[in-house]
Amino acid sequence: MQTLIFFEKQLRKIERAFCYAAAGLVFVMIFPTTVDVFLRYVFNAPLPEMFQLTEFMMVGVVYFAIAYVQQLKDHIRIEAATQWLPPRIQEILDIFGYGVGFIIFAIISWQTGRIAWEAWETADYTMGIVQFPLWPAKSILPIGTGLLTLRLLVDIILNFNRITEDQSNRKDPGTGEE
């Protein structure tokens, strides 16, 4: 348990660092389009293929942020049907929800990883006047979704521990109502 708590603490820092990287990309994203607009109207010389860079950055913003969003439990979900349930049942349902996420994002990080590897092996490039390699943007997916998968696994274990601890506290005479 001690190791898990230590590990979770480090994971928190990594997720936060990734989200700061996403925040940095949001800032940088302002400029390719602004510069393009400026050059087009002032010098009548648009930068070719600037939109490609924005697309790559968009992938970075989204997938670098998602693990931190899960750390904060900010992924949108519908609570109207379950919020009248006792907290313990809600925590069990949360384990189920994170489990669903764990399964699908494990598959997504595996499959997107395969595709990123293909892009590297075949030296896949974007089409157009300026050609960008595709593997860096495609590698963001297995990294970001992999981190989310790991976070979901940790959340499942933490929730599970909390529930079993509650259980043993309850059996403890003098604390529980039972």
Partner 1 sequence: MSPEQIGMLGMGGMLLLLALRVPVAFAMAIVGFLGYAAVSGWTAGFKVIGMVPYTAIATYGFSVVPLFLIMGSFLSRAGMVSDLFRMARLWIGNIPGGLVHATIIAGALFGAASGSGLASTTVLSTVCIPEMRKRGVDKILACGTVASVGPIAQMIPPSILMVIYCIITGTSLGKLLIAGILPGLLLALGFMFLTYLRVKKNPGLAPLLVEKVNWAERFSSLKNAWGVVLVAVMVLGGIYTGVFTPIEAGAVGACGAFLLAITARGRSWVGLAQSLLDAAKVTGGIFLIIAGAFIFGYFLTITRIPTLVSEFITGMPIQPLGILISVMIMYLIIGTFVDMVAALFITLPVIFPAMMKLGFDPIWFGVLIVMQCEIALISPPFGLSLFIVKGVVKDVTLNEVIKGIFPFFIVDLIILALYIAFPQIALFLPQQMMGK
Nearer to partner 1, 5 or 100 (CB): 100
Interaction of residue 150 with partner 1, rule CB under 8 A: no
Should residue 62 be labelled a site residue for partner 1 when binding is judged by CB under 8 A?
A: yes
CA distance 68 to 32: 26
Q: How far is CA 57 from CA 26, 47, 54, 79, in A?
A: 8, 17, 5, 32
Q: Is 78 in the site for partner 1 (CB under 8 A)?
A: yes
Site for partner 1 contains 88 (CB under 8 A): no
Asked whether the CA dihedral 131, 135, 138, 144 is positive or negative, the reply is: negative
Closest by CA to 138, choosing from 155, 163, 121, is 121
**Which 29-48 residues touch partner 1, going by CB under 8 A?**
29-34, 36-37
Q: Per CB under 8 A, does 17 bind partner 1?
A: no
> What do you get for the CA distance between the two ends of the chain, in Å?
28
Provide the total of helices (H) and of strands (E) in the chain, helices listed first: 4, 0
81 binds partner 1 (CB under 8 A): yes
Residue 158 binds partner 1 (CB under 8 A)? no
Residue 26 tokens read as 């949001």
Number of residues near partner 1 (by CB under 8 A): 61
Residues forming contacts to partner 1 in the complex (CB under 8 A) are 19-20, 22-27, 29-34, 36-37, 51, 54-59, 61-66, 68-69, 72, 74-82, 90, 93-94, 96-97, 100-101, 103-105, 107-108, 111-112, 114-115, 137-138, 141, 145
